[in-house]
Structure 1
Amino acid sequence: MTDRKRVVISKEEIAEKVKTLGEEITKDYKDKNILIVSLLKGSFVFTADLVREIDLMTRVEFMTTSSYGHGKESSGNVRVVNDLHVDVKDYDILIVDDIVDSGNTMKFVINYLKELGPKSVKSCVLLDKPTRREVEIEPDYCGFTIPDLFIAGYGLNYGDYYRNIPNIFVFEDK
């Protein structure tokens, strides 16, 4: 792997899509008590931009799960690293994540949060990689559907780095 990068989704395309998702969520949740549950670490950039595009009283909480470690492939074994510290019973939860590929994490978190008794649970992801799906799950809100590429940037990491890059890219060999 080299440091040569090819942009797959530009920061302008991301900004436009996040605006559209925010408008859609605003419309769909206008009469609801929305709780955004941002799955750390990957979704923090997307969540920050998305909540600024939602024109509603919005509560944001964070949850950390892990299934990747420092590699490129999900282990499939999802665990909660840092849990919510709020009673969710009066909320309509919208889980926000950077990407759904295998679907294991999102399915786990949806089921986990449903057990806590909220009014509803839906999901919003910036990226969907359906060719990698191992479980049946479709995000309720999705920015972009992408092919089976290993991407980084805009919150998505490779190892502990590249989350700060403003676009989504792939590494290319020379």
Structure 2
Amino acid sequence: MSELIEVLSKEDIARSITEVAEVISHDYRDGNLALVCALKGAFIFMADLAREISVPVQLGFLGVSSYGKSSESSGKATVTKDLDLDVTGMDVLVVEDIVDTGLTLGFIMDYLKSRGARSVKVCTLLDKKERRAMDVQVDYACHVIPEGFLVGYGLDYAENYRNLPGIYHLKM
């Protein structure tokens, strides 16, 4: 039997997104900004973030997986849906649901640089610093969170729980 324990309410999430969007809007006021969503987990976060950013943005989607149906990362990232936006010469902001080990994010950043992005930075809803296996820079983080397997607001376990309005610790 699984138990859900609330970590962040939908109000906590909304407040932090508004704050981060203001900083991003200021930082990219003169830029050519593209938000690239790491699917599937970040799609809800990116939709809310994009609506709060006050400068023009283009949106792209990239499917990358390292979890499959497990609660542990395999450590090997694979592209499951190729990028549908030409990012050549653009300032790219990778929008992630959670940065954990950093392995998937490192893969995505290298991939976007190879596609000709002028710059690549990272915005994440959740930064789980204590599990880092790769040194990756998170430029904008809405929340720094501790250990635990999290679901809700786009995050899943075996494709379940994405629809929950807040973030929850899933205890198995």
TM-score w.r.t. length of structure 1: 0.95
1:7 equivalenced with 2:20 (yes/no) = no
Unpaired segments ≥5 residues, structure 1: none
Question: Aligned partners of 1:33 and 1:25: how far apart in 2?
Answer: 12
Question: Aligned partners of 2:85 and 2:41: how far apart in 1?
Answer: 21
Equivalent position of 2:19 in the other structure: 20
Question: Aligned partners of 1:79 and 1:24: how far apart in 2?
Answer: 31
Question: Aligned partners of 2:85 and 2:165: how far apart in 1?
Answer: 31
Equivalent position of 1:114 in the other structure: 113
The 3-state SS of whatever aligns with 1:110 is helix
Return the offset for 1:85: 3.0
Instruction: Give the 5 Å matches for 1:1-174.
Output: 1-2=1-2, 4-172=3-171
Question: Aligned partners of 1:148 and 1:137: how far apart in 2?
Answer: 18
Return the offset for 1:172: 4.2
Return the offset for 1:135: 0.6
Return the offset for 1:138: 2.6
Unpaired segments ≥5 residues, structure 2: none
Question: Aligned partners of 1:5 and 1:118: how far apart in 2?
Answer: 39
TM-score w.r.t. length of structure 2: 0.96
Which consecutive aligned stretches of 4+ in structure 1 deviate over 3 angstroms post-superposition? Answer: none
Alpha-carbon contact 2:7-2:168 (below 8 Å) kept: yes
The 3-state SS of whatever aligns with 1:31 is coil
The sequence identity of aligned pairs, in percent, is 45
Question: Aligned partners of 1:97 and 1:26: how far apart in 2?
Answer: 18
Question: Aligned partners of 2:15 and 2:94: how far apart in 1?
Answer: 20
